[in-house]
């Protein structure tokens, strides 16, 4: 088998990150030969593919066309499906999405952690499966992603091809898919997207480039509250231009009364992040408010808040149930962000101590605590990649009975794992957005005297390959 060769492939399995799996058969024997991964295919498809990579233990191929369709395929809702990488599973029946996510999540614990003696609870699906996000972050770009048919007409390109607002094309940091719709957020979201594009393009406003470090427009972040119906726009620019942004603010305020606040973050750095060196509130109070479990949270432009509000409440409820609290516990909340989990748990424990690296998030957590009268919560700014023990000792904090950890995708630093083992809580509830790194950390915790009791996968992001999982570990011989 050579790179560039075109073959017909039966897709029989499904891999993490949304790739169909087939096998290049040897002598026609079923199951023999190398595994071949093909994006855009599902089990049951028969596809014509071109080999793009040849490794010692697998092949990768690009889909040319489908010769036969899987019975699990459904009609995708979005016109950008197949180009945009945000919803790779949109053409797969949702029940099948859940089945594959459930199996992939548990496979990590068996393959990476070497654990099988735990209770695997059924995956919790999402409802709704569209319009579930409360935040969309779009990028402005000077290079619009063009389809093959558009590239064939390259001589007819015009200036509008050099102005795009949307999401990055998969694997391309400098090309933007010029989105006209997106069904991950309520339709007001893409109405604001299209209006913002039209406003600035009609005025010939420049787009920022990291290469030349010039240009004005960088990002558009749209957030909404499921509880109050408030909407926030955060326009991120490369420099301050009060006259233009005020004009934009007036236009938005007049055209879309549901937008309650507009903020301008000015990012003077080359780093492509949707935060600024300083921010200015153009109108409104600079934040929106949403609820999880009866608790209200103020969400500022750069606050971390669970992207799927409705599913977050279910996720936290699972974590609460796993912890089976009596009301007398001291709880530690690692990677506490803006304090959502700590405050959600505060009415069920004696005291919660939250630890977070991002100082602005710690500030938000303190404000959210006051906002909800959660007096039994205390938050600390802490570098979780170094030891927490000096901070705990300096503040004479009581040792935890229960510890909840919700780290980013790369999981916990080894120092944090060792801190947890030294703190020796009776129960650990580990929430993760990446079961692979979660399984890696759980393996270390089991080596440190803990047993994995149960795991429950939770689908926070339908139509994507992302999956969350909640795991309960107990100290050996403690319960």
Token representation of residue 18: 């949304």
Token representation of residue 120: 């695997």
Under a CB-based contact definition with an 8 Å cutoff, are residues 107 and 135 in contact?
Answer: no
Q: 179 CB contacts (<8 Å, ≥6 apart)?
A: 80, 84, 138, 165, 166, 167, 190, 193
Residue 139 C-alpha from the chain's centroid: 16
**CA nearest neighbour of 369 among 292, 316, 295, 460:** 295
- Asked about 433 being catalytic, the answer comes back as yes
Token representation of residue 141: 């770009």
- In angstroms, the CA 186 to CA 198 distance is 20
The single residue of 87, 182, 336, 433 carrying the catalytic annotation is: 433
Q: Residue 297: helix, strand or coil by DSSP? A: strand
Residue 199 C-alpha from the chain's centroid: 29
Element (H, E) at 255: helix 242-255
> Beta strand 119-120 with 450-458: parallel, antiparallel or unpaired?
parallel
Under DSSP, the state recorded for 216 is S
- In angstroms, the CA 474 to CA 355 distance is 21
Residues forming the active site = 433
């Amino acid at each position: 088998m050579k790179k560039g060769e075109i073959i017909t492939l039966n897709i029989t399995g499904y891999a993490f990150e949304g790739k169909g799996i087939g096998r290049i058969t040897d002598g026609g024997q079923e199951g023999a030969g190398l595994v071949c991964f093909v994006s855009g295919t599902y089990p049951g498809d028969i596809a014509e593919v071109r080999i793009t990579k040849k490794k010692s233990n697998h092949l990768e191929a690009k889909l040319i066309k489908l010769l036969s369709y899987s019975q699990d395929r459904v009609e995708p809702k979005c016109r950008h499906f197949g180009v945009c990488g945000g919803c790779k599973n949109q053409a797969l029946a949702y029940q099948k999405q859940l089945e594959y996510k459930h199996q992939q999540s548990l496979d990590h614990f068996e393959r990476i952690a070497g654990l099988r003696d735990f209770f695997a609870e059924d995956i919790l699906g999402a409802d709704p499966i569209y319009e579930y996000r409360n935040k969309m972050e779009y990028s402005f770009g000077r290079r619009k992603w063009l389809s093959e048919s558009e590239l064939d007409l390259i001589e007819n390109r015009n200036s509008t091809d050099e102005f795009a607002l949307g999401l990055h094309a998969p694997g391309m940091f400098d090309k933007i898919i010029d989105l006209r719709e997106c069904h991950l957020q309520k339709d007001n979201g893409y109405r604001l997207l299209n209006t913002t594009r039209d406003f600035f393009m009609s005025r010939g406003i420049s787009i920022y480039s990291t290469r030349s470090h010039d240009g004005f427009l960088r990002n558009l972040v749209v957030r909404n509250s499921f509880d109050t119906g408030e909407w926030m726009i955060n326009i991120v620019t490369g420099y301050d231009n009060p006259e233009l942004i005020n004009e934009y603010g007036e236009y938005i305020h007049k055209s879309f009364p549901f937008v309650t606040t507009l903020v301008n973050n000015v990012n003077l750095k080359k780093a492509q992040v949707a935060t600024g060196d300083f921010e200015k509130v153009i109108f409104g109070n600079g934040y929106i408010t949403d609820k999880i479990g009866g608790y209200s949270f103020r969400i500022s432009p750069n606050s971390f808040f669970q992207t799927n509000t409705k599913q977050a409440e279910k996720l936290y409820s699972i974590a609460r149930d796993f912890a089976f609290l009596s009301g007398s516990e001291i709880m530690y909340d690692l990677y506490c962000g803006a304090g959502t989990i700590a405050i959600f748990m505060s009415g069920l424990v004696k005291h919660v101590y939250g630890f977070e690296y991002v100082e602005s998030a710690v500030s938000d957590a303190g404000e959210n605590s006051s906002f909800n009268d959660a007096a039994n919560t205390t938050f600390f700014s802490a570098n979780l990649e170094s030891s927490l023990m000096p901070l705990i000792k300096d503040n004479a904090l009581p040792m935890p009975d229960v510890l909840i950890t919700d780290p980013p995708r790369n999981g916990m630093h080894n120092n944090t794992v060792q801190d947890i083992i030294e703190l020796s809580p009776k129960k650990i509830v580990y929430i993760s957005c990446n079961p692979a790194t979660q399984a890696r950390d759980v393996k270390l915790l089991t080596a440190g005297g803990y047993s994995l009791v149960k795991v429950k996968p939770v689908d926070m992001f339908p139509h994507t390959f992302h999956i969350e999982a909640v795991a309960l570990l107990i100290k050996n011989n403690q319960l």
